[in-house]
Amino acid sequence: MRSTTIPATLAFLALATPGLAEVTVLGWPGGPEETALRAATEAYNAREGLADEDRVELLFTSRDGFYDKLAADLAAGTTAFDAHQIATYSIGRYAPFMTPVDLGPAAATTFGESVLATQQFDGKQFGVPTDLSLHFLYYRTDLVDALLADADAAARYTEIAQEHLGEALTPKAPDEWTWRDWAATALYFTKAVNPDSPTRYGTVLQMKNLLFNIMVFQSLPRAYGGDWMDEAGNVTVDSEAYRTGLDLYKMLYDAGATPPDSTGYEFAEANAAYASGQVATMVQWNAAAAELTDPEKAPAVAGVTATIAPPSGPEGRFTHVHSLGLGLNAAAEHKEGAQRFLQWLATPEAMAIYARAGGAPGLTGAALEAVVGERPDLAPLGEYASRYGYVMRGGTSANALAIYQLQAAEFTGYWAGTQSLDQALANTTKGMTGFLAGK
Amino acid sequence: MAPKTQENRLLATPLVLYLLLLLGFPSLLNVFYSLSDVTFETLRTPRLSGFGNFAAVLSDPAFWRAVWFSLRFGVLTATVEVALGLFLAVFLSPLLQARPWLLALLTLPIMIAPAMMGLMYRLVLHEFVGPLPYYLLEWFGNSPAFLSPGWVFWTVCVIEILQWTPFALLLFHLAYSSIPADVREAARMDGARGWRTFRRVELPMLMPTLALAAVIRLIDGIRVFDNIYVLVGAGPGGSTTSLPIYIYTSFFRGGSLGPALAASVLFALAAFAGLFLALRAADRRAGA
Which tens digit of pLDDT belongs to each residue from B102-143?
Answer: 999 999 999 999 999 999 999 999 999 899 999 998 999 888
Rounded Cα gap, residues B32 and B28, in angstroms: 6
Residue B216, amino acid: I
Percentage of chain A modeled with pLDDT above 70: 94
The arithmetic mean of pLDDT across residues A112-140, rounded, is 92
**Are B118 and B231 within 8 A, CB to CB?**
yes
* pLDDT band at A263; cut points 50, 70, 90: very high
Per residue in A133-148, pLDDT (tens digit) is 999 999 999 999 999 9
Rounded Cα gap, residues A37 and A29, in angstroms: 10
Rounded (to 5) percent helix, strand, coil in chain A? 50, 15, 35
pLDDT at A57 > cutoff 50: yes
Q: Which residues of B touch A76 (CB under 8 A)?
A: 44
* pLDDT band at A17; cut points 50, 70, 90: very low
pLDDT at A126 > cutoff 80: yes
Residue to test with chain B: of A263, A291, A414, A421, most B Cβ within 10 A: A263
User: In the 3-class helix/strand/coil scheme, how is A27-92 assigned residue by residue?
Assistant: ECCCHHHHHHHHHHHHHHHCCCCCCHHHCEEEEECCCCCHHHHHHHHHHCCCCCCCEEEEEHHHHH
Rounded Cα gap, residues B41 and A92, in angstroms: 13
Q: Do B253 and A211 lie within an 8 Å CB cutoff?
A: yes
CA A186 to chain centre: 23
Residues of chain A with CATH 3.40.190.10: 12-131+324-383, 135-320+399-436
Provide the CATH number for the domain formed by B65-237 in this structure.
1.10.3720.10
Q: Do A263 and B148 lie within an 8 Å CB cutoff?
A: yes
Q: Do B149 and A211 lie within an 8 Å CB cutoff?
A: no
* pLDDT band at B192; cut points 50, 70, 90: confident
Tell me, what's the pLDDT at B177?
92
User: What number is the ipTM of this complex?
Assistant: 0.80
Rounded Cα gap, residues B220 and B78, in angstroms: 9
Tell me, what's the pLDDT at B133?
93
CA distance A92 to chain B (A): 13
Q: pLDDT averaged over chain B?
A: 89
Q: Which residues of A touch B256 (CB under 8 A)?
A: 402
- Contact status of A179 with chain B (Cβ, < 8 Å): no
Tell me, what's the pLDDT at B20?
83
Residue A230, amino acid: D
The arithmetic mean of pLDDT across residues B158-183, rounded, is 93
Per residue in A192-205, pLDDT (tens digit) is 999 999 999 999 99
Q: Which residues of B touch A412 (CB under 8 A)?
A: 235-237
**Are A322 and A401 within 8 A, CB to CB?**
no
Q: What angle do CA A295, B123, A196 make, to 5 degrees?
A: 60
CA distance A69 to chain B (A): 8
Tell me, what's the pLDDT at A11?
47
Does A135-320+399-436 carry CATH code 1.10.3720.10? Answer: no
User: In the 3-class helix/strand/coil scheme, how is A174-210 assigned residue by residue?
Assistant: HHHCEHHHHHHHHHHCCCCCCCCCCCCEEECCCCCCC
- Contact status of A260 with chain B (Cβ, < 8 Å): yes
Per residue in B252-281, pLDDT (tens digit) is 777 788 999 999 999 999 988 888 887 787
Nearest CA in chain A to B234: A209
The predicted model scores a pTM of 0.83
**In this structure, CATH architecture of domain A12-131+324-383:** 3-Layer(aba) Sandwich (3.40)
Tell me, what's the pLDDT at B3?
65
Q: Do A418 and B239 lie within an 8 Å CB cutoff?
A: yes
Per residue in A385-413, pLDDT (tens digit) is 888 988 899 888 888 888 998 999 999 99
Q: Which residues contact A211 (CB under 8 A, 6 or more apart)?
A: A401, A404, A405, A407, A408, B253
Q: Which residues of B touch A415 (CB under 8 A)?
A: 236
Q: Do A413 and B239 lie within an 8 Å CB cutoff?
A: yes
The candidate with the shortest Cα–Cα distance to B223, out of B172, B268, B177, is B268
The arithmetic mean of pLDDT across residues A415-431, rounded, is 95
Residue to test with chain A: of B253, B256, B257, most A Cβ within 10 A: B253
Per residue in A282-296, pLDDT (tens digit) is 999 988 888 898 899
Q: Which among A263, A401, A409 has CB closest to B147?
A: A263
**Are A49 and A340 within 8 A, CB to CB?**
no
Rounded Cα gap, residues B28 and A385, in angstroms: 49
Q: Which residues of B touch A71 (CB under 8 A)?
A: 40-41
The arithmetic mean of pLDDT across residues A16-22, rounded, is 53
Q: Which residues contact A376 (CB under 8 A, 6 or more apart)?
A: none
Nearest CA in chain B to A411: B237
